Amino acid sequence: MRIQREEHGQVLVMVALSMTVLFGFLAFAVDVGLLFNHKRKLQNAVDAAATSAAIDYMFNNSQATATAAANSAITANQITNATVTVNYAPNITSSYHNGSEYVEVIATQPERTFFMGFFKHKLVNVSARAVAGMPGRGNACVIVLAPTGAGAMTLQGSFDVSADDCGVVVDSSDPAALQFTGGGGTLSAGYVAVVGGANGQSADSNPAPVTGSAPVINPFPNLTGPQPSTDCTAANTNSTTTIKSTTALKTANNITCFTGSNVTTSGTVTLPSGVLVFENGVTLGGTVNSGANGTTIDVYSGAFNVATGSSLNLTAPTTAPVTSPSASAVPAGIALMQPATNSTEIQVQFGASYGTFDGIIYAPSALLYLQDSGGDKSGGVTLTTDLIVNKLFDQTAALTIHSYTTAFGNSSPLTAVALVE
């Protein structure tokens, strides 16, 4: 009877049973840790594969060579037994990044386990996915960046906006982000995407706006351009307020600075090549031509205007015009920019002007205002541009846009590839 009541050794039995469970959890943790390590290595390989494929696809427009580039990147990352799938639009599983400029890579690799094998799980599939492409463009040539507010893009009266070979994106989440007022206008584009909603005569849009879309990021979030305090020196600073054909201008390091208030052009003027920094605004009048290697107009402060009846022949540099001493050099492809610190409205009367304008308009804090439906000359101004502005207001103006990135390809800074998923 005493032996039956004896309790010595019970703790040892409980410890032995507990150790079995603890060793089981430890074994499971080891296997899970190893699988996570394999997952990380596979994800790195897939990220490289998606980026390589997107770059190849951007330059060669060939799914075959892009797929080969993806597989080469997988192999270069020492992944040898994975099943790799490369998807292009419209087969990309993401609802946001399934445009023609994106590439999706999915890889699955069986990994051997140690302790889980005792439970009939000797092999476990590890998967990774990545999407790369050109998020700053997305084949959009009109990008309205304002994240909130009604009428971020406002089309009024008998407006006529045509962007048939590219898209229009409005980032505002407001229910009336895209505002149609009046009647008789036409918006024609490859697509019209709005994060918020469209209000008014949305039937004026062809195709109809797609609401609830994903926003497009600012492709140049850190671009400030040359800084007057460091980049404008005695060697390139001009105090003139009127630029004529006979005006001698000082230029250094492909930068020409103007300190005068509201500088104007008069007569027939060929601007210097490189970047022109207007510290207090500029109005283009008469006949204005870009320099031989292209010209970027940088409105550091003040307003940009085009005088009625002007003849514009503006072309952006196709190679980076400035390796600036300041933090932010100007990339190729930009014809007109206002840095984020300048929110002054840009008034462009293209209806009363004529000529050509080849280059990106970048004004992330400014409203681009288009007006004057009358007085067209020689078909008005032919715009080959990508508009990247804070807001857009078209008051009865006729605006035809051809995508600069589509037309000029590799010289556009919007061809940069990035991982987006």
pLDDT at position 57 is 79
399 touches 141 (CB < 8 A): no
11 assigned to some structural domain: yes
The domain boundary, picked from 107, 133, 159, lies at: 133
| pLDDT digit string, tens, across residues 325-370 | 554 578 889 999 999 999 999 987 665 678 888 999 999 999 998 8
100 assigned to some structural domain: yes
pLDDT at position 163 is 85
pLDDT at position 242 is 96
Q: Comparing C-alpha atoms, which of 229, 366, 242 is closest to residue 303?
A: 366
109 assigned to some structural domain: yes
Residues 247 and 126 reside in one and the same domain: no
Residues 350 and 235 reside in one and the same domain: yes
129 touches 366 (CB < 8 A): no
182 assigned to some structural domain: no
pLDDT at position 321 is 83
Q: Comparing C-alpha atoms, which of 378, 381, 371, 373 is closest to residue 402?
A: 381
Residue 359 zone, left/alpha/beta (φ > 0; ψ -120 to 50; rest): left
Residue 90 is part of which domain span?
Answer: 2-133
Residues 8 and 118 reside in one and the same domain: yes
The domain boundary, picked from 89, 106, 133, lies at: 133
Residues 229 and 105 reside in one and the same domain: no
Give the pairing of strands 123-133 and 418-419: antiparallel
pLDDT at position 115 is 60
pLDDT at position 137 is 47
Chunk the chain into consecutive blocks of 10 residues (it has 421) and report each block's average pLDDT, rounded to whole numbers: 54 60 59 71 88 78 87 88 84 68 86 60 78 67 94 88 85 94 84 90 87 82 88 94 96 93 95 96 95 95 90 90 63 92 86 83 93 52 88 84 78 67 74
CB atoms within 10 A of CB 208: 12
Q: Comparing C-alpha atoms, which of 277, 280, 281 is closest to residue 321?
A: 277
Residues 227 and 111 reside in one and the same domain: no
Q: Domain total for the chain?
A: 2
Residues 259 and 113 reside in one and the same domain: no
Residues 415 and 308 reside in one and the same domain: yes
pLDDT at position 375 is 39
The domain boundary, picked from 84, 110, 133, lies at: 133
Separation CA 179–CA 199 (nearest Å): 5
Supply the pTM of this predicted model: 0.71
398 assigned to some structural domain: yes
Residues 241 and 364 reside in one and the same domain: yes
Q: Comparing C-alpha atoms, which of 361, 358, 263, 279 is closest to residue 312?
A: 358
Residues 246 and 127 reside in one and the same domain: no
374 assigned to some structural domain: yes
φ, ψ of residue 37 to 5 degrees: the values are -65, -45
192 assigned to some structural domain: no
Residues 232 and 381 reside in one and the same domain: yes
16 assigned to some structural domain: yes
Residues 287 and 383 reside in one and the same domain: yes
The pair of three-digit structure tokens given for residue 148, joined into one six-digit string: 């909130």
| pLDDT digit string, tens, across residues 89-123 | 777 776 666 666 788 899 888 876 666 555 556 66
Residues 407 and 264 reside in one and the same domain: yes
pLDDT at position 241 is 96
Q: Comparing C-alpha atoms, which of 389, 323, 318 is closest to residue 359?
A: 318
